[in-house]
Structure formats: C-alpha cells, structure tokens
Amino acid sequence: MCCRTRGPAVPTDPAPGPSPGGPALALHAVGKRYGTTTALDGVDLTVAAGEIVGLLGANGAGKTTLMSLVAGLLRADSGRIEICGRPLTGDRSHDRRARLDLGLAPQELGVYPPLTVRQNLRFFAELAGLRAREARRRIEETAAPLGLTALLDRRVSRLSGGEQRRVHTALALLHRPPLVLLDEPTAGVDVETRTRLIAHVRELAATGTAVCYSTHYLPEVEALDASVAVLHQGRMVARGTLAEVVRGHGESAVELTFPGPPPPLRLPWPVTVGAEVLRVQVEEPQSAVPEVLAALGDTAGSLVGLRVVRPGLESAFLRLTRERAVDGEGPVRPARRAVGAALHG
C-alpha cells in the first residue's frame, strides 16, 4: 500500500496520483551538481510503504543533497523523483501536493526557540493545513511517543539539545505523512532519546510509513530493522537488505594496530596498510591469528592492538567506501598494497 490518504485536507491533484502498491519514494538516475562538485550521480532508490531505509555514507557522500532534492529544497539537474507516484516537476504549486506526503527533519534544527513546544507544533500544524481540533489531537499523539508531553508548555529555548531535537523530529511527523525523511536524527542525543526515537520510527513503519533515515551510527540500522542504501561520492554503491549487503560486501580480517607505520609482513593473505593499522583479509581470522603474530617476529612487541573483524555492516561499509576511494572510477578492486606473499614497507 502506498500513500495512505491520511494527510491534511488540501486541494487534490488527481493526475497521476498515488499508485496503489507503488513505492512511497522513487528516484531514477538522479544527478545534482554544485558548480564543479558532483554531489549525486545517476542515483536510483526506491522506498516502499512500511520500509525503513538506512541511508549511509561518509561525510560529503550526498545524503543531505538527496533528502533536499526529495523535499523540493533543491532541484535535480537530471533524473526523476516521484513521491507516492507523483513526479516532482519543479513547479511549486504542482509539487505542493507531493510535498504534503512527506515529512522532513533536516540535520539543522528548525525549531523556533522563543515559542513553547506546543506553539511550535501548532504553527507547523497550521502550515500543513490541519484544522484546530485535528491539530490539538495530533500534537498530543505526536508528543507522547517522543517523550514531549511534559514539555509541551516549555519554551524551546529552555530545552536541552536532545529535547530540542525531539521537537524538531515531531514537526516532521505531525501531519502523519506517508513518507518521512530523517537526516541524522540522533546526532548528539543521549542513549534514552536514541532508543525512544528508534522505537517510534519502527512503530511508524509498522503502520505503513516509509522512512528514509540517514545516519553515521551503523548499529542503528540493525536496531531499526532497516534495509541499507550506501552512497559513496554521490553514487549508490550498495542497496539491499542488511543481510544482502553484508553477504555481498562484508569481509573478515585480522586488524593490527601499531603506534606508527606498520612493519613489513610476509603473509599468504591480502594485506591493506594504513597509517597505523594493518589489515589482513582472511576468511578464518580466528585461526589465522597465530600465523599473523608469528610473522611479526621481533616487531610483535610494538603491537598496541589486535582485533578479529567478522563480516558485518561495518566491514561491508568500510570495504565499499575504501575500495572506491582508492580505485576511483574503475571496477571494484580491493585497496591492497601487498597481495599474497609480497613484502611491503
């Protein structure tokens, strides 16, 4: 089911209208440049009703740009964006209906500090076209799961940073849009707020809301039971369920940390060398540890850390982003300085 008709009463634009069963959000070959910087390059992404997509990417990967394009804050240079089957055209009045189907909580807080929490929520309810009685009900309903009920009559300027972020998120959810975009909603919040927010996002998805959730905290993807979309340098480099992405891109390794440049090592496995970290890519890392330590010889004394890395989202994410960072435009190849028994250093 896509796009329940539960948004505010607005003039309807029936053509082409929401497509039953279609995705809540669809991006087709979307491109965006800022001057000479390519922020997004041929990005495809669909988010189904009831699905949470964890949008991952390093700083500058293009996550905020993607959300800004969907929210109509920026215009794509190429490609097509559809919200509940309605394509964005760039025409304000045409796109108004599509935008009412989404709620955006951007990275930057968008709350009015001199107003109370209730006044902030009421103001946004009016913008969304909710009538007074409906707005009162929605304010109570939205405040409760985010732990804002006791704070409704407090000025936002007197709230903590985490509380303000909860208010900011509530503004995006107030009109119960079928598509919600949350850009790093847990940045800088405490554990309780994070847990509460994640639980609420899961509840929203369980009732059919499509959620695009960008984060740098990879464990949140699991906590959300989200599928995964990885952006790297403006390109979508992986998309699938968590299990699919880990299966396709996760790797196991033995990771050694030194106080400075790692010493040369002779090993039968591929080795990646960083400033202080040496990574041995091996399928059975646990059983490879003795051989790795033996290969260190006298230099073992300088070792400050050893970690067995199992295939998981973190290793998949690092592999996806690291490989392309080194290899640039070409096909995916591991960023290895030493392969097989080659000596490095």
Residues that bind ligand ATP (CB under 6 A): 34, 37, 39, 57, 59-65
CB of 182 to ligand ATP, least distance (A): 13
Residue closer to ligand ATP, measured from CB, 96 or 216:
216
Q: How is the beta sheet containing 37-47 ordered, strand by strand?
A: 37-47, 25-34, 78-83, 86-87
Residue 53 near residue 169, CB atoms below 8 Å: no
Find the shortest distance in angstroms from Cβ 133 to ligand ATP.
Answer: 38
Q: Closer CB to ligand ATP, residue 86 or residue 168?
A: 168
CB nearer ligand ATP, residue 66 or residue 156: 66
Q: Which is nearer to ligand ATP, 217 or 307 (CB)?
A: 217
> How far is residue 309's CA from residue 286's CA, in Å, rounded to a whole number?
9
C-beta closer to ligand ATP: residue 76 or 174: 76
Longest dimension (CA), the chain: 76
Q: For residue 202, give both structure tokens.
A: 């899961």
Helix residue ranges, H only, the chain: 63-70, 92-100, 117-127, 132-143, 161-173, 191-206, 219-224, 242-249, 285-296, 313-327
Min CB(107)–ligand ATP separation in Å: 6
Tell me how far, at minimum, the Cβ of 60 lies from ligand ATP, in Å.
Answer: 4
Q: Which residues, 6 or more positions from 273, have their beta carbon under 8 angstroms from its beta carbon? A: 261, 262, 279, 337, 338, 344
Closest C-alpha to 258, from 309, 306, 315, 319: 306
CB of 227 to ligand ATP, least distance (A): 18
